């Protein structure tokens, strides 16, 4: 179908590393801005995956997330497909992307989390890492978002505790509180939580191995993923 320049930008290839989260952001933002109109049908899974330059499994994850959040509707049958919801979430709320205040929080988070990760690689003891692993288990078993989020906050604060820096623990506690205010503005699809916790598990492994570079890259990827989800669903 013929597209204007703005809509064409939605379907440009997605960058690697955060393909799942960026795909959610692309489609969620296009829905919020009306580039994908309520009731409109998405291209076929094969065509859309090819246009975005991602695997069909990653695309399915992103679509499942947006179905769970109420942005998309999937139907089966001869006339089935994936459609933009007639009344997507937040459609009646003030339509503003992430503002300067939110961006400041996200930037502050990058500094605190990556710094804590570097020191945790150097200073963490087995008891710290065992506690982090225990928290990933709590997130995996959580049946309600509130329980997941409590364990999630404790995990990130636990990284600062593993860095053995009281000041970093205070900073991490502050930034996690500010992140909770942002996260409260969006739906919490199961697919997003599962993907995020898989990164938590990988991070614990890297901390235990003492792989500082890989751990910091993963933490930055983890944070960037949250930024994409917020931008797409807020």
Q: What angle do CA 200, 207, 202 make, to 5 degrees?
A: 30
Q: How does pLDDT run across 46-94, given as a tens digit for each residue?
A: 999 998 889 999 999 999 999 988 899 998 877 788 999 998 875 444 4
Structure letter (DSSP) for residue 75: E
Q: Is the pLDDT of residue 18 over 80?
A: no
Q: State how far Cα 154 lies from the chain centre.
A: 18
pLDDT tier at 1, thresholds 50, 70, 90: very low
HSE of 19, CA atoms in CB hemisphere, 13 A: 18
- Tell me which of 135 and 49 has the higher pLDDT: 135
Give the largest Cα separation in the chain, rounded.
60
| Structure tokens given for 26 | 């692309």
| Structure tokens given for 144 | 């309600």
At the top level of CATH, the class of 5-84 is mainly alpha
Contact 222, 198 (CB under 8 A): no
Residue 4 is predicted with a pLDDT of: 63
What pTM did the predictor assign? 0.79
Contact 204, 129 (CB under 8 A): yes
The Cα 122–Cα 130 span in angstroms is: 16
Task: Give φ, ψ of 18 to 5 degrees.
Answer: -120, 40
Measured over the CA atoms of residue 60, residue 62, residue 68 and residue 71, the dihedral's sign is negative
Residue 6 is predicted with a pLDDT of: 62
The Cα 26–Cα 8 span in angstroms is: 11
pLDDT tier at 224, thresholds 50, 70, 90: very high
pLDDT tier at 16, thresholds 50, 70, 90: low
- Return residue ranges of the chain for CATH 1.10.10.10: 5-84
At the top level of CATH, the class of 100-233 is mainly alpha
Residue 80 is predicted with a pLDDT of: 80
Look at residues 9, 43, 49 and name the one whose alpha carbon lies nearest to residue 29. Answer: 9
- Return residue ranges of the chain for CATH 1.20.120.530: 100-233
The Cα 136–Cα 221 span in angstroms is: 18
Q: Is the pLDDT of residue 14 over 90?
A: no
Average pLDDT of every residue of the chain = 89
Q: How does pLDDT run across 171-207, given as a tens digit for each residue?
A: 999 999 999 999 988 888 899 999 999 999 999 999 9
């Amino acid at each position: 179908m013929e597209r204007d320049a703005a809509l064409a930008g939605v379907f440009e290839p997605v960058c690697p590393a955060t393909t799942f989260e960026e795909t959610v952001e692309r489609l969620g933002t296009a829905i919020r801005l009306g580039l994908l109109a309520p009731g409109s049908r998405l291209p076929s899974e094969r065509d859309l995956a090819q246009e975005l330059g991602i695997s069909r499994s990653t695309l399915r994850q992103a679509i499942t997330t947006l179905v769970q959040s109420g942005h998309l509707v999937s139907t089966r049958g001869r006339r089935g497909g994936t459609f933009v919801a007639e009344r997507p979430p937040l459609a009646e709320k003030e339509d503003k992307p992430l503002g300067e205040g939110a961006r400041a929080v996200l930037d502050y988070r990058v500094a605190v989390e990556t710094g804590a990760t570097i020191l945790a690689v150097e200073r963490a003891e087995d008891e710290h890492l065992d506690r982090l692993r225990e928290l990933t288990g709590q997130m995996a078993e959580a049946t309600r978002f509130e329980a997941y989020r409590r364990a999630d906050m404790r995990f990130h604060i636990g990284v600062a505790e593993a860095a053995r820096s009281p000041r970093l623990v205070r900073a991490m506690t502050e930034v996690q509180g500010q992140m909770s205010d942002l996260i409260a503005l969006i739906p919490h699809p199961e697919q997003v939580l599962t993907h995020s916790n898989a990164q938590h598990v990988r991070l614990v492994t890297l901390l235990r191995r003492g792989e500082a570079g890989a751990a910091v890259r993963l933490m930055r990827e983890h944070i960037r993923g949250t930024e994409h989800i917020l931008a797409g669903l807020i």
